[in-house]
Structure 1
C-alpha cells in the first residue's frame, strides 16, 4: 500500500475505520486494514472528509482590492473598477495573484477548483492562457477546470464570441456566460443561445452568472425560466450551472418555488456565492435591507442540485476571503437560517458531493473503494461539528499523496493560586 489513514472517523456514532490507498485510489475501507503502507497517518479519531471543491472562483481577479477598491459597493461599481484594472493586467501579475489563492485553497483542503477567467476585448485571452499554464503547474496538487467567462457581455462587446471560441480551442473546459450584462432582454436571450451554441460546438458544459440583482423588476435578471427551457430544449440536463441567482430571494415565495421547480426539472444547478452576494446586495435599501442570497432551503426543497463557493477574494466584488470553503459554508448557514446537525451536514455536502455533481466529477469522487483518493483529515473529532469547529486541515491528500499539512500546538497557561 502507498498510504493508510488509521482510526479515521467518517460517521459519528460508528466505529473508526482504516482507509487504504494505492495508485492514487482508495482500495479498502475497513475497521482494521492488516496491510502495511509506505506512509501511515494516525487519525486518532479525527474526521476525514472528501476533498473540498471550489465550484466558482475568479483566480484572475483575486487580490485586486488594494490596487483599487469598489467605493460604492455595487455590482456596477465592481464591474467598472475591475474593467479599469484589467486593462493593466500582465501575465506575470495574474499568475502571481492566482498562485497565492490556489495555494491558500490547497492548504484549506480544496482538491478541485472551477475557475472563471474573464474573456473579453479588454483582457483578451490572458486569463485563460495563464490558467492553462497553472493547470499544468499544479497538476497532482489540485485539479483546475477553466471556464471561458464573458464578464463584459457577448453582444455588447463585439469580438467576445470569437475569443470564447478560441479559449475553448486552446483547452478551456467549460463555456461561461454573464446573461445580465447586455442592453435589453432580447440580447440577453441571444447571449444565452450563443453560450449554448458554443457548448454544443465544443461538447462542453455551461456555467453562467445569472439573475444577479436584488429583485427581478428588470427582466434581464429574471432569466431562470428561459435558461431552464433552453437547457431542456438543447438536451443539456445535468450540464448547466448558474452562479449567484440572487434575484430569486426578492421574488414572491410562490413564484420563486415555481421557478426552482423548473430548474430542478431541467437539471440546472444553482451555486450561491454568499460572501459576494450579501456584500453587493441590498445596496439601495435603507430599511429592511435584503440579504440577496438565494434561500438555500428552498433549493433543497425543490430538489435543485446546489453548491456554494468563494467566488471572488479580496477585490471589488468581495473584499474578503481566504479560499476557505468551511468558512464560506458557515457564513451560508448563518445567512440562510440553517442550523442543527442535519442542516449543517447538508451545507457541508454542498462543498463536497453536490459540488462534485456541479463540476461533473461525481462518478469518481468520494471516500469509497475505487474512487480517487482526494481527502482531508480535520482536527475535529465529530462530523456534526465540522462547520462549527472551524478545524485545522491537518492533512490534505490529493490522488493518494499528502500535498499540505497544518500542525498547531496550543496550551492554556497554568493558573497560579495565591
Structure 2
C-alpha cells in the first residue's frame, strides 16, 4: 500500500480517505486513470482534489450477475404465482414484443442507477433463444460502447429457455459469441431430463473451449434436490476439472445447496472449492421465488454463505433481476443487496459485514476476471467510491450515500445531500 516512489503531481487526489478501520486515513493519488500512490499526507498536487474528511473509500462495486435486458418489466405484467416457472413463462411472452429501443431504454436506466450507486463493472446475462434471437446481446454491445469510460460491461450469451427445449439456441449462442459476447452462460435446469441437463452443461463447456471464454451457469435453483435437475453442482465441478477451467466457472443461485444434508453439503462445497468453481447467491430473487409450494415453515433458501466461506469457495453476490417477474424489487444498489444478504444469512458483526462488502468488491472482481487491475493498491485501475460513512465495517449498515464515484480516475457521479436535525419546538 505504500507509495513506491515520490509523486509530484496527479490528475486526482483523494485526501484523508479511510480505507482500513485499523489504520489512519490516507491520501490516494491518481494519474492517467491508475492509482499512482497511497499514503499519509502525500505532497503531490493535483488537477482535482477531494477532501474525504475521514470518509470511507472502497474500490468500485462489481455486479457479477444482472439481467439488463429483462429489467423494469414489472409495469407490464406481474408474476401471478411467484414461482420460477411462472417468471420464465411470463418473461417468454413479454420477450415476443421486445424491441431494440425498449431494451436499450430499460437497460440504460439500470446502468445509470448502478453508476450513481457506485458500480463500476457489470456482468450482464441477456437472453439468447429463438424467441428474441440476439436482440439482447446486440443491444448490450451498443450500450457497452455508449457507457465506456463510465462503467465496464461484460456480456453473457445466456440460454434462458434451455438448449434442447429451444431448438436453434445452440447456433444462436455460437453466433452471439462471434459477435462479441464475453462469456458463455447456461440454464442447467431448464431441460426435460437430467441427461439433457448434463448435455446442456457439456455443450456450454464446449463453446467455452471453442471461443476461449469463461462459463457462467444458472444452476441448482430450487428449494431442494427432490428433482435431480437441481443437483448438478457435483457434475459442474467434475466438468470444470476435466476441461481445465478452474477459476473461470461460476454458478449463480445454487439455492438447493442449502437443502442438502450437512455431510453431503460439506462434500459438495469442498468439491466446488477444489475445482475452482465460484458461487454467486442472488438473495433478492432467491428469497422472492423460493418456498412457494410450502404451506408451513416456509423455506427461505439462499446458498449457505458462511459454509461457502468455510469451504474456501469463491463467493460473490449480485442483484440478478430488477423489478420484473423474477424480482419485483431493486435499484441496482449492491450495498442494499449486501445488507439484505447479511440479514437473511445470519451474518452480523464487523468481521462478517466487512467480508460481505468484499463479496461485492474483491471477490466479485475475481469472479468476472478483472482482479489483476482491481483494488485499492498502487497500479490498480482508479475505480473508487467515496461513501458517507467513517468505518468500513459500517458500509452496509449505514446505507451511505455514494458521495463520489470515480471510474478510471474521473468522477462520473456524485451525491450531495444535507441532513439537518432541527431543535424541538418549545411547548
- The residue aligned with 1:396 is 405
Q: In the alignment, is residue 256 of structure 1 matched against residue 265 of structure 2?
A: yes
In 2, the alpha carbon distance for the partners of 1:346 and 1:327 equals 15
In 2, the alpha carbon distance for the partners of 1:384 and 1:267 equals 28
Runs of 4+ in 1 over 3 A off after TM superposition: none
- Measured against aligned partners, the alpha-carbon deviations of 1:263-318 in whole angstroms (never above 9, x if no partner) come to 00000000000000010000011111111101100100110001000000000000
In 1, the alpha carbon distance for the partners of 2:295 and 2:310 equals 31
Q: In the alignment, is residue 229 of structure 1 matched against residue 241 of structure 2?
A: no
Mapping of 1:281-296 within 5 angstroms?
Answer: 281-296=290-305
In 2, the alpha carbon distance for the partners of 1:415 and 1:188 equals 65
Residue among 54, 58, 64 paired with 1:49: 58
- The residue aligned with 2:207 is 198
In 2, the alpha carbon distance for the partners of 1:271 and 1:13 equals 29
RMSD: 0.6
Unaligned runs of 5+ in 2: 1-9
Residue among 262, 271, 276 paired with 2:280: 271
Q: In the alignment, is residue 20 of structure 1 matched against residue 29 of structure 2?
A: yes
Residue among 11, 16, 32 paired with 1:7: 16
Mapping of 1:52-71 within 5 angstroms?
Answer: 52-71=61-80
- The residue aligned with 2:340 is 331
Residue among 200, 203, 217 paired with 1:208: 217
- Measured against aligned partners, the alpha-carbon deviations of 1:183-213 in whole angstroms (never above 9, x if no partner) come to 0000001100000000000000000000010
In 1, the alpha carbon distance for the partners of 2:30 and 2:326 equals 40
Equivalences, count = 418
Residue among 136, 139, 145 paired with 1:136: 145
In 1, the alpha carbon distance for the partners of 2:107 and 2:395 equals 28
Mapping of 1:35-184 within 5 angstroms?
Answer: 35-184=44-193
Secondary structure in 2 aligned to 1:328? helix
- Measured against aligned partners, the alpha-carbon deviations of 1:312-357 in whole angstroms (never above 9, x if no partner) come to 0000000000000000000000110000011001100000000011
Q: CA deviation at 1:249?
A: 1.2
In 2, the alpha carbon distance for the partners of 1:417 and 1:179 equals 65
Secondary structure in 1 aligned to 2:198? helix
Q: In the alignment, is residue 188 of structure 1 matched against residue 197 of structure 2?
A: yes
Q: CA deviation at 1:33?
A: 1.1
Q: CA deviation at 1:250?
A: 1.2
- Measured against aligned partners, the alpha-carbon deviations of 1:227-261 in whole angstroms (never above 9, x if no partner) come to 00000000000000000001111111111111001
In 2, the alpha carbon distance for the partners of 1:55 and 1:289 equals 28
Secondary structure in 1 aligned to 2:45? coil
When normalised by structure 1's length, the TM-score is: 0.99
Q: CA deviation at 1:8?
A: 0.4
Residue among 366, 374, 381 paired with 2:375: 366
When normalised by structure 2's length, the TM-score is: 0.97
- The residue aligned with 1:240 is 249
Q: CA deviation at 1:417?
A: 2.4
In 2, the alpha carbon distance for the partners of 1:171 and 1:221 equals 30
